[in-house]
Each structure stands twice: as C-alpha cells, then as structure tokens.
Chain A
Amino acid sequence: DAGITQSPRHKVTETGTPVTLRCHQTENHRYMYWYRQDPGHGLRLIHYSYGVKDTDKGEVSDGYSVSRSKTEDFLLTLESATSSQTSVYFCAISDGAGGNTIYFGEGSWLTVV
C-alpha cells in the first residue's frame, strides 16, 4: 500500500465552521491531489500541488484552500463549511510519471450539519 495517511477519517462539523483535512505521505512524491467523491459525480479534483508551496485549482475549488509547506503534507481547508461540502475526500499522490503512478488514500468522511 502507498504510504498515504488521511486525518481525520471521519468528522461531523457545523455549518460555518472552518475544517482542515490533512494528507501525509511517506513516499516523497512530488505531486499531491485532493478529490471529492459524490454520488452521480464520481471523483472530482479540488486542488493539486506540484511541489512545496506550488498549488493550483482543480475543477471544484470554490470554498476550498490548500497549503503545502512540506513535501509530505498537503492540507485542505474549508474556510466556512457548508452542507454542500458534505462528501468523501480523497488525497492522492503521484511521482509525475503518468497515470499509472497515482495512488489514493483511504478517504475522509466529512458531514456538515
């Protein structure tokens, strides 16, 4: 298994509160990604990073921010959580060598009430 740890794995939070999800990798891979998975939509890219302090927006980035201060950690922050952000969030890592080297974490289940 790829060395990817997501935390927390489960969280219930209230609307309007900030939430931070953490992805930690032990593979020293350059690329890191945050996806969300929702019924009827599949996996959609939120933000990605191609190196320390280098990040960019994905398909569904509104309401989310990210930070990467170390190679091994990629943080996803919901500045003010909304019910539409209730979802399963997956972190993924890649060494940039193409689609066959993308590995996913186990997911973080977030419920916004």
Chain B
Amino acid sequence: QKEVEQDPGPLSVPEGAIVSLNCTYSNSAFQYFMWYRQYSRKGPELLMYTYSSGNKEDGRFTAQVDKSSKYISLFIRDSQPSDSATYLCAMSLYNTDKLIFGTGTRLQVFP
C-alpha cells in the first residue's frame, strides 16, 4: 500500500463547477500538507499549504486537512478552463522538506 493514495482521474467538469480533489494517507506522523498544480510538460507549482489540521482558503481554492481520518481535500470553486492541469497532493513529516507525493489527479474543465 502506498503511503499516499490519490485517484488519478481524469476528472472532467464543466466551467463554473465546484471541484473536489482528495488524497488519503497512512502515516499519522505527517504534519505538512501541500497541493501542487502541474501543467502539461511543466514543473509542479505550489498551490496550497497547510500545517496540521484545519482549513485554508485562497481565492477560489480551499484546502482541508482531517488528520483523524487521514484525508485531505482541495476544493476549487467556479472552476475555469485554465484550471485544467494535474493536481498533486504532497505531505511531509515535521521539520523535514522531504515530500511524499500522491500520483496526481488530472482535471479537465471544459467551456
């Protein structure tokens, strides 16, 4: 079993939809939780970062961490075609930058 599980998709939604992306993990010691966005043939770029449990909002993006369930989510409101990309969840232990990634979910937002 992988430490971090993520549905690869693809997920196809119409413009304006609310998108929910999720990851589950097995290591209860993870403290930092990140979401990266990766456009085709580009490097991952950090989208959201959360320390420990709770919610974080940035514009149309909301990240949630539920450590009791070992489950993290990324919500995208009013999705746009420009949101079409692969979304990678990542997490790490306390006081380390070594990230463990999910396999990524490919999202397509059609006009």
A interface residue numbers (CB < 8 A to B): 4, 31, 33, 40-45, 48, 58, 90, 94, 96, 98-107
Contacts and interface: CB of A to CB of B under 8 A. Distances in A.
Contacts of B102: 42
A99 B56 CA distance: 15
22 contacts: A31-B97, A33-B98, A42-B88, A42-B102, A42-B104, A43-B44, A43-B88, A43-B101, A44-B101, A45-B99, A48-B98, A99-B32, A99-B34, A100-B49, A101-B97, A102-B34, A102-B46, A102-B97, A103-B46, A104-B36, A106-B42, A106-B43
Chain B binding surface, main DSSP class = strand
Interface residues of B, number: 26
Contacts, number: 60
A52 B16 CA distance: 48
Given A43-B44, A48-B98, 20 more contacts: A40-B8, A42-B4, A42-B6, A42-B103, A43-B99, A43-B101, A44-B101, A96-B97, A98-B51, A99-B34, A100-B32, A100-B34, A100-B46, A101-B97, A102-B34, A102-B97, A103-B46, A104-B44, A104-B45, A105-B43
Contacts of A42: 4, 6, 88, 101-104
B74 interface: no
Q: Which of B44, B45, B51 has its CB near the most chain A CB atoms (within 10 A)?
A: B44
Interface string B69-108: 0000000000000000000101110000111011110000
A36 to B, nearest CB: 11
